[in-house]
Amino acid sequence: MNVPNILTLLRIALIPVFIVFLMTGHSYTAAAVFVVASFTDMLDGQIARKYNLVTNFGKLMDPLADKLLVVSALVCLTQLGEIPGWMVIVILAREFTITGLRSVAASDGVVIAAGFSGKLKTVSQMVAIVCLLLRDWPFSYLGLPVRVDHILLWIALALTIYSGAEYIVQNRRLFSMK
């Protein structure tokens, strides 16, 4: 097990810690745990590429760890009444679809690594979630007529839909009937 894969597993291990803090009313501490977990995503990829430690385990588990972290946050934020459930359903639908696509590809011996739009989607979701966890801080002090965290969530939703469509179009051959 190499360092990038350990960081991926650490991200997964931090999810229950994050959930406990968030659901017990410690949203700022939850935000800190979420930021640390999100940082491991960036760090594991950099280390893997720099030291040629890219593995099939990492290609499959890294995106899964990201999905688990983001989906856990979104479901908890929905339960807390911070975001609408329909947005989470759209995001979940994309995640299940792409995970299914990756499973089909893996059964044919093909690994679909995360593309740029998928990485951008993940970053936008993570940034929006952190702002939601911080209850729009520091933007709430600017007296804006809209909440920046909600704008960021809409941007993340748009990127989620776009990246899902892009993955499907780029890998449409996997949907062909044999």
Complete DSSP assignment for 30-90? HHHHHHHHHHHHHHHHHHHHHTT---HHHHHHHHHHHHHHHHHHHHHHHHTTSS-HHHHHH
Work out the average pLDDT over 58-73.
89
Residue spans of alpha helices (H) in 80-147? 85-107, 116-133
The total of structural domains in the chain comes to 1
Asked if the bond preceding 4 is cis, omega within 30° of 0, the reply is no
Domain region containing 7: 3-175
**CATH assignment at residue 121:** 1.20.120.1760
Residue 64 reports pLDDT greater than 90:
no
Work out the average pLDDT over 86-96.
95
Residue 40 reports pLDDT greater than 90:
yes
| Token reading at 31 | 């935000």
pTM, two decimals, is 0.88
**For residues 121 and 158, what is the distance between their CA atoms, to the nearest angstrom?**
9
| Token reading at 143 | 């007296």
Q: Quote the Cα angle for 132-152-32, to 5°.
A: 35
